[in-house]
Chain A
Amino acid sequence: MEGSKIAVQVDDLTVAYNYKPVLWDIDLTIPEGVLMAIVGPNGAGKSTLIKAILGIIDPIAGSVAIYNEPYEKQRKKVAYVPQKGSVDWDFPTTALDVVMMGTYGKLGWIKRPGKKEKKAALEALEKVGMLSFKGRQISQLSGGQQQRVFLARALVQDAAIYFMDEPFQGVDATTEIAIINILKELRKANKTVIVVHHDLQTVPEYFDWVTFLNVKKIATGPVKDIFNDDNLTKTYGINYKVAVNQ
């Protein structure tokens, strides 16, 4: 990674809900082209970290830079995949319509999506293996299919950096493999992918970079260097390997 560019730079980021700090003084440097997992126990602030970086939540202190510029100027370089459970899937719309939303950012206010945008959305649906479901009402999709639709919506944005909030939650093995293959493809294209992840077993297999988080940042770096018992214990408060093998 020597000499490569810095995709995301977070300085002194602090977030609190009603006095209780959720994230405390986070410094984070994410190099370009990594596939990074954010791991930590429930309530560690993993989702909050992503949301604060993206400006969905206002931090009480700290700053975020994307490729050395303030985030507000660089929005178009960033795509977001929210948690599947964060929206109402009974909303009256189709899979294609949801994916089209990925084009709205570049269109800006008032302008309507046209042929070009529709083509991009269809391509993204094909990439996630959902083309045949394009006209399907979104409530009639399975959990895994809904997750793929969300992923397609982010792919349409054609961003440089992708933030994903638990994309593997509640999906079956086939979808998990399909998603991870897409993520690896993104990395090959030198995109930076940051994923809130829960399954520690798969971290070494899926990711090359990892951040341990529990309100404070415990460690961040290449999986092969820092994914070890010491950091897991510091993050989860128990000796992870011993606990698992019991």
Chain B
Amino acid sequence: MEITEYFTLVFTDYTLRTITLGTAILGAICGMLGSFAVLRKQSLLGDAISHAALPGIALAFLITGTKDTNLLLIGALISGLIGTFWIRGMITKTHLKSDTALGLILSLFFGFGMLLLSFIQKQPNANQAGLDKYLFGQAATLVQKDVTLMAIVTGICLVVILLFWKEFKMLLFDADYTKTLGFNTRFIDVLITFFIVLAIVLGLQTVGVVLMSAMLLAPAAAARQWTNKLSVMLVLAALFGAFSGVFGTAISASQNNLSTGPVIVLVAAVFVLVSFIFSPERGILFKQIRFWKNRRDLQLQKTLQFMFDIVRDHPDISHPHAIKILNNFQGYTKNTLKKMEEKNWVQVKGMKWSLTQEGYHAAENLYKQ
């Protein structure tokens, strides 16, 4: 299938529409909540939570014996939350730094989850296959009710963000200060974390345990490049996430056998790359251009200053001087003189230059502020 064919089919084909809608919604909610995680410098938390969810899925299957997605995801939610609270406990109760606590929980829970998965696989039960789809995700298994659940959670999440907008913003910027104003910072904190865990759990079926954190971080990291406003950042991150979902699904549907989760993550990575390079204020391209431009301007200004020092001693400022003198000045090139002529700072006649009124003023004000 060609990509163009995909986009005509997406509106008519039921399966394709469901999957596309699901990945788009998932991308949007992850982008929004990921912005909070990035700004709290808790980028790795998402990674730890998603890995911590794996044993919950396996245990839910062992206990209930069914592969009903909702039941398994409740298991994931519970073990994800347990992992999160253990991480918080470790950070507050011990001397361990947060990166150590995150790494420990991530690998411990993931190891336990893998152990359970291999145990399940040895069971004499035909029902066992397919649990490993939660490792890397399988968007093709999304059905209408999964998407409905995602949409409901995203809706609730949006309402909560809008209601507690000022509390969230203040906590993200300055938690201590928020506390002195009488706000229950623990409650706000738990609320944010709970929704992050929820979003991750929702994404496990589609993107999988291993790649889930990229869904949170990539759109947010890309969005941060384009704006200095928190609200705009959230909207952009949601859009980037949603587009990653749609394009990722489109590419994987049109190229046979490409699994959707990794493709979505790679599309999100393209958003990050483009943002890092091309964003006007923070991007490396424009930063480099500004750097070059400043250096060139500085060179012009230094040459102008040198000329000014010569001209100053003459009664007539536009008295012509030999270009040869300028060779004494380090950093002078023919090109500089041309540029200065363009700026109307100097006039060049034959082998002589003279400062214009405009150039004289520019030089006078050069280092005055």
Using a CB–CB cutoff of 8 Å, the interface residues on chain A facing chain B are 18, 51, 54-56, 72, 75-76, 78, 80, 82, 86-88, 91-94, 97-98, 101, 104-105, 107, 109-110, 112-113, 137, 139, 153
Residues of chain B lying within 8 A (CB to CB) of residue A98: 173
Interface pair B169/A93, CB less than 8 Å apart? yes
A-side interface mostly: mixed
Given A92-B229, A110-B164: A104 in contact with B179 (beta carbons within 8 A): no
B152, CB-defined interface residue at 8 Å: no
Residues of chain A lying within 8 A (CB to CB) of residue B229: 92-94
Q: Once bound together, how far apart are the Cα atoms of A113 and B169, in whole Å?
A: 13
Given A54-B180, A55-B180, A75-B182: A93 in contact with B164 (beta carbons within 8 A): no
Interface pair A137/B228, CB less than 8 Å apart? yes
Interface pair A92/B179, CB less than 8 Å apart? no
Q: Once bound together, how far apart are the Cα atoms of A87 and B232, in whole Å?
A: 21
Interface pair B166/A104, CB less than 8 Å apart? yes
* Distance to closest chain A CB from B123 (angstroms): 47
Interface pair A75/B163, CB less than 8 Å apart? no
B114, CB-defined interface residue at 8 Å: no
Interface pair B176/A112, CB less than 8 Å apart? no
Interface pair A104/B176, CB less than 8 Å apart? no
Interface pair B174/A109, CB less than 8 Å apart? no
Interface pair B177/A82, CB less than 8 Å apart? yes
In the complex, the chain A residue whose C-beta lies closest to that of B224 is: A92
Partner of B176, one of A72, A86, A88, A101: A86
B60, CB-defined interface residue at 8 Å: no
Contacts A91-B39, A92-B232, A94-B228 known; 6 new A-B pairs at CB < 8 A: A82-B177, A93-B169, A101-B174, A105-B181, A105-B183, A153-B177
Residues of chain A lying within 8 A (CB to CB) of residue B177: 80, 82, 101, 153
B227, CB-defined interface residue at 8 Å: yes
* Distance to closest chain A CB from B55 (angstroms): 32
Interface pair B176/A51, CB less than 8 Å apart? yes
B167, CB-defined interface residue at 8 Å: yes
Residues of chain A lying within 8 A (CB to CB) of residue B180: 54-56, 75, 78, 80, 105
B172, CB-defined interface residue at 8 Å: yes
Interface pair B163/A101, CB less than 8 Å apart? no
Residues of chain A lying within 8 A (CB to CB) of residue B179: 54-56
B233, CB-defined interface residue at 8 Å: yes
- Which residues of B, 201-230, contact A by the 8 Å Cβ criterion? 224, 227-230
B96, CB-defined interface residue at 8 Å: no
Partner of B173, one of A51, A56, A91, A137: A91
In the complex, the chain A residue whose C-beta lies closest to that of B223 is: A92
Q: Once bound together, how far apart are the Cα atoms of A80 and B176, in whole Å?
A: 9
Partner of A93, one of B95, B165, B173, B182: B173
Q: Once bound together, how far apart are the Cα atoms of A91 and B173, in whole Å?
A: 7
B170, CB-defined interface residue at 8 Å: yes
Interface pair B227/A92, CB less than 8 Å apart? yes
Sample of 13 A–B contacts (CB below 8 Å)? A55-B180, A80-B180, A82-B174, A88-B41, A91-B173, A92-B224, A92-B229, A93-B229, A97-B169, A98-B173, A101-B166, A104-B167, A110-B164
Using a CB–CB cutoff of 8 Å, the interface residues on chain B facing chain A are 39, 41, 95, 163-167, 169-170, 172-174, 176-177, 179-183, 224, 227-230, 232-233
Interface pair A91/B167, CB less than 8 Å apart? no
In the complex, the chain B residue whose C-beta lies closest to that of A153 is: B177
Interface pair A87/B174, CB less than 8 Å apart? yes
Q: Once bound together, how far apart are the Cα atoms of A56 and B163, in whole Å?
A: 25
* Distance to closest chain A CB from B318 (angstroms): 38
Q: Once bound together, how far apart are the Cα atoms of A20 and B163, in whole Å?
A: 42
Residues of chain B lying within 8 A (CB to CB) of residue A110: 163-164, 167
Residues of chain B lying within 8 A (CB to CB) of residue A112: 165-166
In the complex, the chain A residue whose C-beta lies closest to that of B234 is: A92
* Distance to closest chain B CB from A173 (angstroms): 17
Residues of chain B lying within 8 A (CB to CB) of residue A94: 228-229
Interface pair B176/A75, CB less than 8 Å apart? no
Interface pair B228/A92, CB less than 8 Å apart? yes
Residues of chain A lying within 8 A (CB to CB) of residue B163: 110
Residues of chain A lying within 8 A (CB to CB) of residue B167: 104, 109-110
Q: Once bound together, how far apart are the Cα atoms of A56 and B235, in whole Å?
A: 32
Interface pair B230/A92, CB less than 8 Å apart? yes
- The 7 A-B pairs with the shortest beta carbon distances in the complex, nearest first, are A105-B181, A137-B228, A75-B182, A80-B180, A54-B180, A92-B228, A87-B174
Q: Once bound together, how far apart are the Cα atoms of A55 and B177, in whole Å?
A: 11
Q: Once bound together, how far apart are the Cα atoms of A244 and B166, in whole Å?
A: 49
* Distance to closest chain B CB from A114 (angstroms): 12
Q: Once bound together, how far apart are the Cα atoms of A105 and B167, in whole Å?
A: 10
Interface pair A101/B170, CB less than 8 Å apart? yes
Interface pair B228/A104, CB less than 8 Å apart? no
Partner of A113, one of B166, B172, B176, B227: B166
Residues of chain B lying within 8 A (CB to CB) of residue A105: 180-183
In the complex, the chain A residue whose C-beta lies closest to that of B40 is: A88
* Distance to closest chain A CB from B60 (angstroms): 36
In the complex, the chain B residue whose C-beta lies closest to that of A87 is: B174
Interface pair A101/B182, CB less than 8 Å apart? no
Given A86-B176, A105-B181: A93 in contact with B166 (beta carbons within 8 A): no
Q: Once bound together, how far apart are the Cα atoms of A128 and B181, in whole Å?
A: 21
Kindly name the residue among A18, A80, A88, A104 whose own CB sees the greatest number of chain B CB atoms within 10 A: A104
Given A92-B229, A94-B228: A75 in contact with B181 (beta carbons within 8 A): yes
